[in-house]
Amino acid sequence: MQTVALQDARHLPLWRRPVTLLFLMAAAMPIAFSTWSALLNNFVIEVASFDGSDIGWLHTVREIPGFLAIGVIAIIIFVREQVLAIVSLVMLGVATAVTAWFPSMGGILMITMLSSIGFHYYETVNQSLQLQWIPKDRAPQVLGWMVAGSSAAALLSYGLIVLTWDTFNLSYNTVYMIAGGVCVAIALFCFFAYPQFEAPTPQVKKMILRRRYWLYYLLQFMAGARRQIFVVFAGFMMVEKFGFEVHEVTALYLINLVANMVCGPFMGRAVHRFGERATLLFEYAGLAIVFLLYGGIYYFGWGVLLAATLYVVDHLLFALALALKTYFQKIADPADIAPTAAVAFTINHIAAVFLPAGLGYLWLISPGAVFFLAAGMATCSFLLALLIPRHPEPGHETFFSRFSPAPAE
């Protein structure tokens, strides 16, 4: 297979360049994953008669591969990252396509594990490739456009389900087969149509934890914890407290996708203009306010319009997390990007594996307290983000770095 150095790739036609490949893969993933997620709750309840406990197990199983994303380091010793990303997309697509073939608890958990391995390993490697292939000066804008591109692909998938499900009386198997098949087709096109791109710096192929990345690790952990509270409990609140029907939750999701599609490029430009520190401070302050207002819904009886608005604002603020990627890109040794992406993904998922069950019990006692805890986490993230320098770089990773005689490993 043809190998092309990254600096020579600019001579290729636009459609065969590395950034175009990243965009194509970023579109393929949500076609499968958004379809799988959109139908999942209805599918497991109608076909496999899942109850709350079963769904809890399903989400735990789904998060385990994210927690084990560090295994990517072992795989890239033998397999190129670009190939691993495409193979992971194929795995996600195939698992999505055959989901309806296994209408039992054991079968659904097995398929969920396979699709989750594909999803999480793709996301890990994709983050690494983005930071290696996109120049630092263009990264915020390009990542912003990728947020928009992924949202557009998810919107297309979701919109087609809404428009065709009842009209053509589609079955779960038909929709899963089409979505998974399209994802596999795009992945195979990416494999055969593109050369293997060679980044200028070979990646370290072993697990590394560097002291000078400590702030990035902490911010990743806090981001994973906060996001899990939102993913598990914000949507649950809309259904439990306000009695949202499937089409109403779907409408909220579509609004989120349109908002991300429109705002993604502007978010990238904001990071480029104001820097990672200011962007992350804005995100974390906004999230703290959003979670406090979520808690207030339970204590002060505020209405459904506020809850729906907060749900959309929450999604938009989470999209600003691209600033955390570019912060790491600026402080990282170029050879550390792949192993640190894997380590960071695992750190991000520590909370995802352990938080939902524990906070589920707290939810039974006081739902508002769950959101106040999330507001506390966002406030901690805000305080940590104050330590990011205005212009981060190797040797100047945090505010304290200026007082160190030399960069610490």
Spatial separation of the C-alpha atoms in residues 155 and 253, rounded to whole Å: 9
Residue 273 pLDDT more than 90? yes
pLDDT band at 164 (very low <50, low <70, confident <90, very high): confident
Give the number of other Cβ atoms within 10 Å of residue 300's Cβ: 9
The closest of 366, 368, 365 to 376, measured between CA atoms, is 368
Contact (Cβ atoms closer than 8 angstroms) between residue 307 and residue 242: yes
Q: Name all domains of the chain by residue range, CATH numbers in brackets.
A: 1-200 (1.20.1250.20), 205-409 (1.20.1250.20)
Please list, in sequence order, all residues whose beta carbon lies within 8 angstroms of the beta carbon of residue 199, skipping any fewer than 6 positions away.
Answer: 6, 132, 133, 334
| Model pLDDT, residue 355 | 79
User: How far apart, in Å, are the Cα atoms of 161 and each of 31, 48, 107, 346?
Assistant: 11, 21, 24, 33
For the chain, count helices (H), then strands (E): 14, 2
Q: How many CA atoms lie within 13 A of 47 on its CB side?
A: 19
Residue 73 pLDDT more than 50? yes
Residue 283 pLDDT more than 70? yes
**406 compared with 98, residue with greater pLDDT:** 98
Quick one: CA torsion of 147, 22, 210, 345, rounded to 10 degrees? 60
In our burial notation (b when 16+ CB lie closer than 10 A, e otherwise), range 353-391 reads bebbeebeeebeeebbebbbbbbebbbbbbebbebbbee
10-28: per-residue pLDDT in tens?
Answer: 899 999 999 999 999 999 9
Contact (Cβ atoms closer than 8 angstroms) between residue 44 and residue 316: no
| Model pLDDT, residue 404 | 63
| Model pLDDT, residue 405 | 56
Q: Extract the tokens encoding 328.
A: 């790491």
pLDDT band at 408 (very low <50, low <70, confident <90, very high): very low
| Model pLDDT, residue 52 | 61
Residue 45 pLDDT more than 50? yes
% of the chain with per-residue pLDDT over 90: 61
Spatial separation of the C-alpha atoms in residues 2 and 135, rounded to whole Å: 23
Residue 246 pLDDT more than 80? no
The region of weakest confidence among 55-59, 259-263, 312-316, 371-375 is 55-59
pTM for this entry: 0.89
In our burial notation (b when 16+ CB lie closer than 10 A, e otherwise), range 180-191 reads bbbbbebbeebb
312-345: per-residue pLDDT in tens?
Answer: 999 899 889 899 999 999 999 999 999 999 999 9
**Which range is most confident: 295-299, 311-315, 383-387?**
383-387
Q: Report helix angle 81-97 to 172-193, nearest 10.
A: 160
What is 108-154 written as a DSSP string? HHHHHHHHHHHHHHHHHHHHHHHHHHS-TTTHHHHHHHHHHHHHHHH
Query: What letter represents residue 166's amino acid?
Result: D
Query: What letter represents residue 324's amino acid?
Result: L
Contact (Cβ atoms closer than 8 angstroms) between residue 22 and residue 190: no
210-239: per-residue pLDDT in tens?
Answer: 999 999 999 999 998 888 888 778 877 887
pLDDT band at 378 (very low <50, low <70, confident <90, very high): very high
The closest of 134, 397, 390 to 271, measured between CA atoms, is 390
The DSSP output letter for 393 is B
Beta strands in 151-221 (DSSP E): 196-198
The closest of 300, 352, 287, 329 to 136, measured between CA atoms, is 329
The closest of 110, 5, 124, 128 to 58, measured between CA atoms, is 110
Q: What is the largest CA-CA distance in the chain?
A: 68
| Model pLDDT, residue 67 | 87
Residue 63 pLDDT more than 50? yes
